[in-house]
Structure 1
Amino acid sequence: MTKFNFDDLIKSLYGSLIDPDGFKPFLSKLIEQCNFRSGALIMANMETRDVNVIWMEGLDLENIHLFMEHLDRKDPLIRELVKAEPGSLIIAGDATREDARINEPEFYHDWICDLDIHYAAGAVLTIEGSWVSQMVFQRRHDQGMFLPDEIDMLKQLIPHMQHAMHLHHLKVDQDKQRLLSQLLFDQIQQPVILLDNANNVCHYNQKANAFLSKSMPLKIINRKLHSIKTNKNTEMDLAINACRTNNNTQTVHINTENNHTLALTFAPLVKENNNIEHGIAIFIYSSEQASNLDLQILHDLFNLSDKEGKVCCELVNGRSPAEIADLHYLSYETVRTYIKRIMKKTQTSRQNELVAKLMSSPAFYPITSPSKV
């Protein structure tokens, strides 16, 4: 069985977003750990046939352009990728190679035989308009077919690759955005619910959907967010009104039946930066599973000190400046000073904008190890 350091791969992946060499160090590490012959991360325009090679190893540029421009429609793996849903892992093995030998002899000779590519795996990561990002890996005949544990690892890696690619696209557009778009909400690894100007739930991300589907003290009824503890509904209404009136963040704490605490942070959205007029974002934090920020990545991204990074950790876990002060035996004004410095370094002007930027940065990510590797 192949041995992987999955956590190391994940950290290297998200570190790619701030690495001058981009995704190259991560993908080179993946090729080494998995004993691949070659691999590529490609952006292809399905309309114009333009190809942008983000990373490639084990193949030269001439080969990859020849493949994409002339032979890709003959490749059984690419034909399957074109039809596949984003995130699906496609494997090309012995049967695929034999099909190519019979039905596409030119492709079989020029690509499989001459370049010694006998096995391949690939996945579509993202689709942005006519642009499709594809991840493909190949093996020589002597390296053998992909093993079950390798396939399992790649399947668990793909969602992280998709997340990293989305963050890559968002990072490219970062100068044009000051606050979360709906797409960015969907990438946050924390439950987020959006309210429109009538306090109706107009959107919630996948994490919030999973959260609400469980037996939790929060439910959406007739497009309104309700707590099963009726006294908390009044407190939530007051927080929403204060959030709108004062244009600042509010926090409501709810105790669960399992003796955990939910912190609901209500943050006003800036009108000109989203399509929700006077909207409110509700970030849901649970003491059962605290969020985590990598202090080193925060330093590399924004030049934050460790103390500033720890304040950021508390903010993304839903704690107010007053709560942070009490928790760390600091004065309220000291915490406010830290936050002002952090906002200046992160080029944000509001606390909710700061939290959004932190949670969409590569410093904030889940690390989970696959169970079968």
Structure 2
Amino acid sequence: MQHKPWLASVPLRSPADITVPTRDDVLHALYSAIGSDAAWNGVLRVIAAYFNANISMLVVAGKGQRDRSFYAAWNHREEAARAYSDHWWEHDVMLSAVVKNGLFVKGMVGRASDIITPEELHASRYYQEFMLTMPAEHFMGCVLSDGRDEALAPPMHLSFFRKPGDADFSDENVNQLADLYPHIHRAFELHWQHRVAQEQLGVFHQSLDGLDFGVLFIDPTTRVRHANTAAREMIARSAGLPLLGGLPEHAPRDGELARLLQSCAQGKGGAVSLGAPGNNLFAMALPLAAPQTTVAGDASASVMLMLVEPNKRPDAALDFVVRAFGLSKAEARLLPMLFENMTPTSMAQALDVKISTVRTQLSAIFAKTGTRRQQELIRLLGAVPSVQRFPF
């Protein structure tokens, strides 16, 4: 990315009370902060010391910046941050000059003295009534995001200030910031992407917790990466089922449930019923991605494991059977009637269809589930055929 410094020339001051970090210290702080909002205050502390700045901030541009989803600052008083966020941003003569000159563009690096004279700054209410209270006079900054790419962060800028009486930021400082900019931008871009992913994942997990059946996501090493509330409660109630292994923390390494998960590693998936009728769990496993083979030749895959308690949720159990055996909608509507022991004639009357249609659909159900008659099919709620049922 090309950087466009605004030019000026003033010697750099070294602070007497702060150890000046090296460039490597700055880079280490930047990349160490990826994934942690709270760490960015420390990053700004390090970069501010590197530039001998007494205030630094990384904020969303515009009104209400203090209350935006991201805000980081060092040595900037809360009342000053609030005052700027609520009022003074509209009177910021430096920001106005940047925008007026078309300089609020991602990749822009510079200082205020290149676009506004000291006389203009000192004559403004913004300087007299706000900046002096910070206290701040000299400004240097860069634009990390101008808001043009919706996939990235909103318009954001990184700002550094020096107090009245200090020297302005030098050409060397501007060049140093331009040199650091690719790292600052990359580190924050990675942080923002991680942040968005975590927010989306949080929403996804909350939606899973609203379900009344269990959902677990298991990685290729058999570690459970997430178990929703229903899954944890079911597993706690079914602690006597040895085939659950170490759930909800990690999947079993042997037994039928383990073999079911192994079938997912081959891209097959399937279903199994665990426990005795009346106190059992339906478990259905589906591979989430194409299986991958390790250097040792073993297949592995991420798996979604779903759990249903048929005695507590017969409707969910029916849906489970429908999905497990790939029944059509027309076939699925016969299941509740089967469990009520209705005859094919009664089903045809209830659905207002020909009895031949019902018999055809029943034949399809029996073929898909591996059963031969109605009573065998009814026992699906206690033991899913074609897989096996396992006692305590």
Q: TM-score, structure 1 length as denominator?
A: 0.43
Larger of the two Rg values belongs to structure: 2
Higher RCO by CA contacts (8 Å cutoff, separation 6 or greater): 1
Larger strand proportion, structure 1 or 2? 1
Q: TM-score, structure 2 length as denominator?
A: 0.42
